[in-house]
Chain A
């Protein structure tokens, strides 16, 4: 079956521009997670969705970061006024809750120039 997909695979943007990153979870998975992987910070949690609501946004690094999920499926992570320190790989994962096993997408590599 289809796994978690993310788009775009790579994104290069200029400092100050807004970007949107998309995640399509595995069909039927109710929970969705965003993580960021960077050289300086390692792998860090950003936000968690259960259905369309986000009970845990504690990892969002600033108010320039926001995310939404619609229809209990697709999620979009938006970064406004991008900064060079936002350069990282953004990973999305989904789960149906069984054994807490999260299935990851291939990530979006964001480069801010």
Chain B
């Protein structure tokens, strides 16, 4: 079974600063995917970034990047130049190749302070 752990229930940062959200996971599979999803107050889950476990290169999407440490089973999200619109719940999630259901962490509530 997969487990995903987010140890930071809440974080806050000043606008324009950089923030890193932590995530660790556990799986016995070799092929899996890791995701960060954002959930604003509207409840709509939005994919922020995706990482295939077989890729060594860390994924980046504009201001969002990950630090994927496969041996340590760590998958942190870095948000650069944070904006007010980044305020949301952030969920780390994983899925196994061939079994696409997502296993989620408990989330980190991120607040960007103007």
Contacts and interface: CB of A to CB of B under 8 A. Distances in A.
Nearest to B94: A100
B47 A101 contact: yes
Contacts of A100: 33, 50, 95, 97, 100
Interface stretch (B14-22, B74-82, B101-109): B101-109
B43 A45 contact: no
A46 to B, nearest CB: 9
Helix, strand, loop or mixed for chain B's interface? strand
Interface residues of A, number: 25
23 contacts: A31-B100, A42-B104, A45-B102, A48-B100, A56-B99, A56-B101, A89-B43, A91-B43, A95-B100, A97-B100, A100-B33, A100-B50, A100-B95, A100-B97, A100-B100, A101-B35, A101-B47, A103-B47, A104-B44, A104-B45, A106-B42, A106-B43, A107-B43
